[in-house]
Structure 1
């Protein structure tokens, strides 16, 4: 499977157009390095098994191109100096270090992110993409997060939304091409059973657009992955813009799913190399350090895995 609107400006969006950015291999945290000033690739920290498994075309190129729908905090965002940062940014740098190549983020709209791999423009996806059986028909996923969906509402929860079924008959905004829209539409019969109209799902291009709609009262709620929801509730207007609905029956969020790195099935060798690199950063503690930096430890995977996503009930 984006920034709090209080911190996101037009300048941030224009700045995103300056991608691609090459991630420095020596550091696990912090900003991306512009391509023109990037340091030469070092293999000093490379994991032998992961580096050996990487297909030759990526070794020769020295680069893996990463499609990413930027911004999508706390996975991809800009810091106060307009440098790219976030969980996916740091994770990509750490994986690149183990593989001995650069991982280069390319800004890509989420609804065209899979076609960008199919056309050869990009090689992998790191963009908070949920690992689902439908997507597994096209992609293999190296999973790195496990979290549910949360309901984000205006501060004070003026419409008294306490469960997902309280969304029946209301307009709810989600980002276009995400699985949340399908999940909300699946509540149609339950809404009818309680005598309510179905949820009116509005799909918008960016998560920032979704949050703006909620702030403006054009939508009653935003249904989004728990990590971005928690970030928005904490940071937007210094925590004075949004609340997260706390449903006692779903303390970890609704319908927990895996989030992973998407790779075309034809690139099985690349998937294997990424899985080995993920195992390496879990083993040496780098993975947990990155999660702690962004307060996402609750959503960790204990061991590296591939295609763990199952049908969402």
Structure 2
């Protein structure tokens, strides 16, 4: 009993010391909502929650209370089914129409009601099955009617804190944001070369590691000199209980998420884009792990939505546990300063 009391006191003292460090005042505490509202400084963030009980969207505004948007027509089972249907090009329009009817249209109407200007930027913060659905592309897709891309410019963030950290890191970076493109054009990734060509046309400062050039060491070395990384390759889930052991398939070897996180500590500003074939668990782990402390931004490209859709299924308890644990660590451990170690 005495030993337990001593350990408890040491714990409290350690936590207090950490909270005295600049930027760690809320260590192991939930951030205040006023702090989280900073995520909406450049536009509203729409958190969409789905469950078997009810579905809602919450619009986070910078200087106003959050706005609740009930989504009575949204059903978690239907949305899970939509993810599977995305594997068929014949089903895509129907899926996008239903996402518009159940989620997109109610949210757009409420955004208009509260004065959010059209053609302005909004951020989606999806949860659960919505992480594998293209909310940004929802619409009626009928002649004479506008789709969501015609009304608002959509971006994504996995959490409010991740968006705040991303902007903070970008503001501290200087010079040109160089882009590193890593590609593996295997027999089942036919569009990678075309994708790289498109990126080259639109990016002024881009370096490419393609096929045999994209070795593990070459990619890790290249990451150190670039602010952004676009990965066009396959992803793998190593162990359900170790999301940071998930990996990307490079040339004859794999690159683990943990290694990318370690490399990120040396980068001035980091944005990761991935176009890959992965399973739901891999997608979930990647999005959470990439937003671990100081790893600021992860964006799934539209090709990823297409490939991931067929793999969507209800999360089992271990996956939910991993997600919740990683989310907690991600938002509550700003004190972390040294790279994670194996």
Under a length normalisation based on structure 2, what TM-score does the superposition of the two structures give?
0.25
Q: Where is the helix percentage greater, Structure 1 or Structure 2?
A: 2
Larger Rg: 2
Asked which structure has the greater RCO (Cα within 8 Å, sep 6+), the reply is 1
Q: Where is the strand percentage greater, Structure 1 or Structure 2?
A: 1
Under a length normalisation based on structure 1, what TM-score does the superposition of the two structures give?
0.27
